[in-house]
Amino acid sequence: MKSRTYPVTDDHIHIDPVNGRGIEAVKDFSRAGGTHLFLVSKPSWSLSVNPSSGADYAKVFDETIRIAALIAETGVVAFPVLGVHPAEITRLTERMPLMDAVEIMKGGIDCAARYVQEGKAVALKSGRPHYDVSPALLAASNDILMHALTRAADCGCALQVHAETGPCSDIADMARHAKVPVERVVKHYGSPDTPLHPSLIARHEAIPDLVRRGRPFTMESDYMDENTRPGAVIGPKSVPRYTNKLVLSGRITEQDCFRIHAETIQKVYGVTITLF
């Protein structure tokens, strides 16, 4: 891979060699200027896993680690992020009582935490449904999210949160209660009004203004890599393309790129971002 003048990191992306373009999508990311990515584990059903215990999520996590190794062969650095998608609660409760679903999801988070403790992953993911659910389901989801925050505190790692649109200010209170630094709780598909760390979709119109204000944020594509939904949410080239476009237009500088794609990433996740 050719040398870069600044790093470009996608903070939330999925790569799926079975159901999507797989490594070809990573190559597109690299050719567009991408250097690092956070490879987020997919929901269990995407890999035809039907968990009946927390340990069953290991199948999903092992596949994520395997894909990270394949990505490394392309020269792109992949940081695995493991956890249980909050929408799992809806699927699980179709075939079991709510409390059983909660215990399975908490067990899955415990399983993911062991991967972090063993150095196989760098962060956890959790959250709550971004769609309307019953009060009981929402309360159970917040219980699971609190468990994930507690495990992130135990591991000393960041937590990516998938939740409803908006600031999610109550999650910041939950993080403080769990003794997790709020700046290490990442609001996936975030917005500037969140007290959490915002991971913004790459084309977010507020990026130049946030740079001028010195507001820490990161950029993501949330690329799903599913052949049935090509380019969703936005394509794998998006983070490098939008970054390069902002630099070429003079709206951000190369030094700004280092702050977004290296310095901030390092503070949030505790990883090292270097060019090669």
Residue written as tokens 């950029």? 219
Give the pLDDT confidence score for residue 3 in this predicted structure. Answer: 54
Per-residue model confidence (pLDDT) at position 102: 98
Report pTM: 0.97
Maximum separation of any 2 CA atoms in the chain, in Å: 55
Please identify which residue in the block is written with the tokens 């007290």.
Answer: 195
* Residue 4 confidence (pLDDT): 81
82-129 confidence digits (pLDDT tens): 999 999 999 999 999 999 999 999 999 999 999 999 999 999 999 999
Angstrom distance (rounded) from CA 249 to CA 270:
31
Q: With 70 as the cut, is the pLDDT of residue 222 above it?
A: yes
Q: Using DSSP, state whether 239 is helix, strand or coil.
A: helix
Q: List Cβ neighbours of 119 (8 Å cut-off, separation of 6 or more).
A: none
* Spans of all domains in the chain: 9-269
Confidence of residue 276 (pLDDT cuts 50, 70, 90): confident
Report the CATH fold assignment for 9-269. Answer: TIM Barrel (3.20.20)
Distance, CA of 240 to CA of 8 (rounded, Å)? 6
SS3 for 220? strand
Confidence of residue 1 (pLDDT cuts 50, 70, 90): very low
The pLDDT of residue 83 is 98
